[in-house]
């Protein structure tokens, strides 16, 4: 326990005056409802069994550690195992924001107490000494008929949140809140500096040469952008059709409906950082004879339905790679021209698509019937930003219709479960965990599934497989990326380092890999951080952070 925290707690305990009097030897005494509690002034420490945090409390109070059961440490300030009490716990939740965490717990309290809940406030800031915490207040009718008040506040500490709850009747507020503030001041994680995510503090070997001629500014270690994005992930719902969990700053755009629903989530700061999914790309003619046939029909009857067929894109071979390299933009334009629900949709800009390697997919629901069922590792250029990108793409090309009446096949192909995760070129290794997580988070609603079943004339059970395909695709993309050609990946990683101005170093103590700003470690004379040589397999390892001057 830090000395200043002990002093702060001692002062908080010995200077309690509100709603209390002086007992024997000048000790603080609280009187309420015929109960008398005199503080001892002696502090005890209790350490959580689950995650090691500790608090200090006056020895007159009784405590119970229920952290192993996921509840917290109870400090009972009047009656053993009963209200009033202070409850403390710690949750390591690196991906959640404090707003999300508090809102989640507000909803949990509303669900827990139901009709017994009297009132609950909106979240706001509360100040205790030098600390400002966010939280809310609520009250409820206890089963014994008493009205119970509660204060619930959270404090960001380390990579998670400390939770403090005070529960009391009106007459018990003084002792409960005084104990609450003293306990709050004493909360300590087992290694607060390590838990804070500030790796610079734990890297004492990381220091520049401080001679007069080589003096540099202090170095800092920062999380990767991918790690920062993961900490802002939020679940969002769209039009009653689906939900997706994405970084808070991302844009989600949609076009089409039912199996033709195209979803794209992307970072507006760099559109090459994206996830997209189209359940079914329809209306791909098999040959130009078929296209001429429908164009002639359209000239004769002028029917809009015939026009949809006449303008369809020709995919002469049932090949996913051919679709992306030669037909992708034609197909996007076709959709926007003939289906108004695609107008305004921000299509992924996959220009100059070039496959690097590909794999046959043998373990998804289309494997036994698809004409081409692939996962493709490819590079491309975003046609709007002109930024070079790299991604993993999947899709199953299917024969949807065979029609031989004119003497040749006038039927169509379709591509099921067409998905992609992409990142700036050479950065896919860094972003693939968060991108696949986003892809796997897509969940279609029951209303959407019912609409699919009606349109496709299939059972609800079969329609529900659209959610299964998202999980399958996430696993396929992950497995494909793990099976990629490491030699090419090393080259792309080296390319991205050179264009972005980084060296790459290995932390020999943790075996973590860091991108290092050029020149930042030129005068470093320690042994912990070692520069990674070009061609090393360490270039295939995920980047753990960035080191800057």
pLDDT tens-digit readout, 470-486: 788 888 888 877 777 77
pLDDT given for residue 525 in this prediction: 83
With H, G, I as helix, E, B as strand and everything else as coil, classify residue 29.
Answer: strand
Q: How far apart are CA 96 and CA 160, in angstroms?
A: 8
For residues 217 and 294, the model is more confident at: 294
Last residue in a domain, options 444, 465, 484:
484
390 - beta bridge partners? Answer: 379, 423
**CA–CA distances in Å: residue 81 to residues 87, 292, 389, 545:** 12, 83, 60, 46
Print the domain residue range for 490.
207-231+485-549
Q: How far apart are CA 187 and CA 168, in angstroms?
A: 21
Give CA angle at 362 (359, 365), nearest 5°.
125
Same domain, 430 and 515: no
Last residue in a domain, options 460, 484, 508:
484
Would you place residue 8 in the very low, low, confident or very high pLDDT band (cuts 50, 70, 90)?
A: very low
Last residue in a domain, options 467, 484, 501:
484
Q: How far apart are CA 531 and CA 528, in angstroms?
A: 10
pLDDT tens-digit readout, 183-224: 988 999 886 433 333 333 334 455 444 432 333 346 788 888
Same domain, 397 and 542: no
Sign, Cα dihedral of 94, 97, 100, 104: positive
For residues 67 and 359, the model is more confident at: 359
With H, G, I as helix, E, B as strand and everything else as coil, classify residue 143.
Answer: coil
The domain tally of the chain equals 3
Strands 313-314 and 270-285: parallel
Same domain, 13 and 55: yes
Same domain, 45 and 183: yes
Same domain, 382 and 340: yes
Same domain, 349 and 492: no
Terminal-to-terminal C-alpha distance of the chain: 33
Least Cα distance to 517 among 210, 273, 208 occurs for 208
Same domain, 475 and 495: no
Report the length, in residues, of the chain: 549
Same domain, 214 and 249: no
Whether pLDDT at 440 is above 80? yes
Same domain, 471 and 524: no
Q: How far apart are CA 477 and CA 364, in angstroms?
A: 12
In contact, 196 and 59? CB cutoff 8 Å: no
Which residue in this structure is represented by tokens 């007992």?
23
Is residue 202 assigned to a domain? no
Same domain, 418 and 354: yes
Same domain, 20 and 125: yes
Q: How far apart are CA 51 and CA 67, in angstroms?
A: 8
Is residue 236 assigned to a domain? no
């Amino acid at each position: 326990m830090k000395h200043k925290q002990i002093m702060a707690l001692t002062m908080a305990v010995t200077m309690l005056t509100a709603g209390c009097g002086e007992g024997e030897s000048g000790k603080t005494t609280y009187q309420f409802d015929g109960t008398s509690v005199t503080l001892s002034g002696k502090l005890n420490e209790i350490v959580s069994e689950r995650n090691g945090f500790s608090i200090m409390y006056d020895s007159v109070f009784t405590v119970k550690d229920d952290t192993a059961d996921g509840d917290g440490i109870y400090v009972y300030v009047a009656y053993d195992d009963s209200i009033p009490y202070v409850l403390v716990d710690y949750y390591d939740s690196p991906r959640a924001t404090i707003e999300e965490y508090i809102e989640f717990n507000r909803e949990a309290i509303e669900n827990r107490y139901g009709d017994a809940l009297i009132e609950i406030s909106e979240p706001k800031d509360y100040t205790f000494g030098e600390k400002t915490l966010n939280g809310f207040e609520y009250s409820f009718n206890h089963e014994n008929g008493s009205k119970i008040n509660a204060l619930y506040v959270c404090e960001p500490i380390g990579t998670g949140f400390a939770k403090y709850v005070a529960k009391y009747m009106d007459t018990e507020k003084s002792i409960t809140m005084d104990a609450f503030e003293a306990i709050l001041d004493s909360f300590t994680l087992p290694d607060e500096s390590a838990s804070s995510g500030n790796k610079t503090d734990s890297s004492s070997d990381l220091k520049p040469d401080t001679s007069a001629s080589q003096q540099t500014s202090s170095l800092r270690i920062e999380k990767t952008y991918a790690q920062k994005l993961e900490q802002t992930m939020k679940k969002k719902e769209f039009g009653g059709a689906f939900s997706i969990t994405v970084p808070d700053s991302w844009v989600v755009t949609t076009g089409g409906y039912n199996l033709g629903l195209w979803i794209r989530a992307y970072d507006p700061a760099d559109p090459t950082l994206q996830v997209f999914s189209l359940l079914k790309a329809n209306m791909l003619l098999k040959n130009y004879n078929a296209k001429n046939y429908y164009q002639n029909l359209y000239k004769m009857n002028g029917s809009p339905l015939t026009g949809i067929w006449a303008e369809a894109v020709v995919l002469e071979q049932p090949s996913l790679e051919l679709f992306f390299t030669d037909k992708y933009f034609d197909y996007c334009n076709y959709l926007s021209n003939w289906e108004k629900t695609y107008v305004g949709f921000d299509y992924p800009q996959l220009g100059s698509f070039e496959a690097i390697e590909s794999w046959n997919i043998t373990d998804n629901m289309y494997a036994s019937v698809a004409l081409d069922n692939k996962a493709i590792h490819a590079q491309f250029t975003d046609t709007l930003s002109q930024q070079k990108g790299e991604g993993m793409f999947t899709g199953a090309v299917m024969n949807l219709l065979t029609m031989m009446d004119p003497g040749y096949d006038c039927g169509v192909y379709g591509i099921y479960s067409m998905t992609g995760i992409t990142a700036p070129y050479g950065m896919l290794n860094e972003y693939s965990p968060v991108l696949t997580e986003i892809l796997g988070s897509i969940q279609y609603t029951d209303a959407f599934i019912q609409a699919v079943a009606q349109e496709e004339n299939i059972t609800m059970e079969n329609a529900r497989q659209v959610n299964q395909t998202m999980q399958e695709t996430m696993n396929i993309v992950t497995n494909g990326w793990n099976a990629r050609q490491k030699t090419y990946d090393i080259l792309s990683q080296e390319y991205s380092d050179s264009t972005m101005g980084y060296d790459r170093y290995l932390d020999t103590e943790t075996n973590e890999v860091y991108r290092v700003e050029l020149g930042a470690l030129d005068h470093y004379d320690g042994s912990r951080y070692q520069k990674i040589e070009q061609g090393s397999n360490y270039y295939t390892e995920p980047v753990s952070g960035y080191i800057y001057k």
